[in-house]
Each structure stands twice: as C-alpha cells, then as structure tokens.
Amino acid sequence: MLELYGYWRSQAAYRVRIAMSLKGLEWREHLVDLLKGEQFAGAVAEHNPHHAVPVLIDGSASGRPGAGPDAPRILTQSLAIIDYLDDLHPNPPLLPVDAYERAKVRAFSLIAIADSHPLVVPRVRKRLAEQLKASPADVTAWNNHWQTLASAAMEKTLAERTRQTPFCFGDEPGLADMTAKMAKALDLPQVKVHVYEIPAVNGLAAYRSQTMRLDNNASTFELQSQVTGLSYPRRAKK
C-alpha cells in the first residue's frame, strides 16, 4: 500500500496525487498541516530531514538497499516520486518516449517545480515575515511576482510549440499538465496570479480538467477532493 504524507494545498503533494490518480493507484493519505508545524514531528520529520511534503511510503515494494527485504521504500520530492511511480507503473506514461521531447517536458515542468514554487512555500513566507519584517501585503506581492513570471514562461513555451496538442505536449495528460494545472487551479490567499492573462495555460487547463474529470471552476480543495476522494479543509471566506 502506498502512503502519502501531504498538505492539502501543497502544489508538490498535488502533483503526486494527480500522478497516482492517472495511473489508477490506490493510496492512503495522511494530512500534515504545515502552518501548524506538524512537519517537524511524526513521520515527515522521521523520513525527510528537510521537513517538507510530500513523503511517499511504498510498503508494497522490497526494501531499500541494506534495510532488509521487508522494509518499505521512503521517497521525497514530488518529481522523484513521480519518476519512481512512472517507472514502476509505466501505463499511462507521464513522459514522452523521445529523449528530446522528454527533456522539453521536464524543462517546462521545472518552471514550477524548481523556479517558482520553492519561493512561495510556507517556510519562505514565514522567513520573509520574521526576518525581513515583510507585511502580509509584501508577502503577497512577493508570491505574485514569482508565480506571474512562471505563468508567463509557461505561456510563452506553450505558444512556441511546433504542434498544438490538446494537452501540453501530447494527446494525453502527463507531467507537464500536472504543473500547468497548478498555475490555473490555485485558490490561495497568498498567491494572486491573474490566470486569465495567460490564455494558453488557461485554455489547456480547462481542456485537461474536462478530460481528467476535474471541475475547472472548482477551488483547490475541491479539485483535490475530486482527485483523492478525501475531504479537504475549506478556507473560510472573509
């Protein structure tokens, strides 16, 4: 059985959930509240020295090298987890077969995974507020800056494709669609990106949502509930 430790509005955990859902895998989820510091105790602290989600425990696989044949496999980092799942469960594939096309998909996906998302996670926002005395408005402006740059880069990349496809880089959803979906689906108070200004990402997200049986007009917690079947906290409206 796969066990996932994630935060309900974590982009990284969201990507892993979509990958497992697309592959028809079953998993048990443990919700970790990052804002309450729950990542500094329990399974996340035990298995991830960086105290971050997602953490995936594969109890159905043979053990890690030197850990015994019955020990579960512990994985961290969304991209590494998705690669692992794609290798073990190759259908449907999340990356193209062609080496060049695979590199293009990875480069596109890393715009969010490596360039923008790490700059807006809770620990960065907390550091901005505590060390630099950034106000809530300052933190929102910081997050909006990096997310807007990422969305614009995605938009330009998609516009330059030699073949326009229903999904980011093909006829079926894959790794790139998981990251672009987050650019459209985010419903977070600390990120205010005007997604209507990025028509390619916006349009593809609508098509992907329909094909992946997700409501494109749903907020983040509703989308995650559709993917996982779990009930996620609803943010109180002001």
Of 3-17, 54-68, 209-223, the poorest mean pLDDT is in: 209-223
Rounded to 5 degrees, φ, ψ at 56 are: -115, 130
- Tell me the pLDDT band of 212, cut-offs 50, 70 and 90: very low
User: Which pTM was predicted?
Assistant: 0.77
Residue range 2-88, CATH number: 3.40.30.10
As a residue count, the chain comes to 238
Mean pLDDT over the full length of the chain: 77
Distance CA 227, CA 32 (A): 18
At 37-53, the pLDDT tens digits run 788 888 888 888 889 88
Q: How many helices and strands, by DSSP H and E, does the chain display?
A: 9, 4
Residue ranges of alpha helices (H) inside the chain are: 11-22, 42-47, 78-88, 99-110, 122-131, 136-159, 175-185, 199-211, 220-228
> Is 188 a residue whose pLDDT tops 60?
no
* Domain ranges within the chain, ordered by starting residue: 2-88, 99-228
Structure tokens at 166: 């229903």
As a whole-number percent, the residues of the chain with pLDDT over 70 amount to: 71
At 118-157, the pLDDT tens digits run 898 889 999 999 999 999 999 999 988 988 888 888 888 8
Return the pLDDT at 182: 57
- Please state which CATH class domain 99-228 belongs to: mainly alpha
The DSSP code for 73 is E
Return the pLDDT at 218: 41
Q: Of the candidates 189, 230, 195, which has an alpha carbon nearest to the alpha carbon of residue 209?
A: 195
- Tell me the pLDDT band of 69, cut-offs 50, 70 and 90: low
Return the pLDDT at 181: 64
At 87-123, the pLDDT tens digits run 999 999 999 999 999 999 999 999 989 998 889 888 9
